[in-house]
Amino acid sequence: MQFFTVGFKVANDIVNYFRGELFHRAPNPFRAVISVIKLRTDTPGTTRYDLRKRLARLSEDFSDNWGPFRRVDLVAHSLGTMIAIDLLRSAPSQFGSSQVHLVTMGSPYNFIFNYYFPHMFPELRREDFPAVSGITNIYRTNDFVGTNLMHSAAFIKECPQLPRGHADYFSDPDVAEELARMRTSAQPV
């Protein structure tokens, strides 16, 4: 039952990520399925767009009140990784002159978004992330949502962990150890 609950939450997150006025007003199920091909989820009024804008506002506020920063480590889990990837791909100058390192945990990018919607979520390429110094992807070997980010991207460091499912990455001592290792090996800026 616990697996079902977590699975339902993940499915609900994904559906809501694509939510927009056009998508949810198609009464005909065949028309709704066809509309996915034409769906633009990165336009104003869609959840994807709104979440990306919210993260952008948070980063601006953080930088205005506490910055400027030489390095920003952006750490995200599950759907949060999608929001971070979207923002860093669409607005590379969002963090100003800061060197940005993205840490993803349990990211559904490869396993769900790129697999089912490759026209909307292409493979992650270095040239699409000019402001990002690197990406560290932490995932568990039995995570039913998050796996490796890409099969052959040199700028992504893949860090598989012990099988513990999709939840509780932030309280996992092995993940904390990986994050500490990442920080001690970071290049000084």
pLDDT tens digits along 28-81? 556 655 665 555 666 777 777 888 888 888 888 888 888 788 888 889 999 899
- Which contiguous run of DSSP H or E holds residue 24? helix 21-24
Q: Identify the structural domains of the chain with CATH numbers, from first to last.
A: 2-184 (3.40.50)
pLDDT of residue 55: 84
Mean pLDDT of 100-124: 89
Cα–Cα dist 20/2, whole Å: 29
- Cis peptide bond N-terminal to 68, omega within 30: yes
The SS3 of residue 4 is helix
Dihedral sign from CA coordinates of 52, 145, 142, 156: negative
pLDDT of residue 1: 41
Of all residues in the chain, the percent with pLDDT exceeding 90 is 22
Specify the pTM: 0.77
pLDDT of residue 160: 92
User: Residue 2's pLDDT is what?
Assistant: 46
Of the candidates 154, 59, 128, the residue with the CA atom closest to the CA atom of residue 98: 59
pLDDT band at 189 (very low <50, low <70, confident <90, very high): very low
Residues 6+ apart with CB under 8 A from 81: 104, 105, 106, 107, 108, 109, 146
The whole-number pLDDT of residue 169 equals: 92
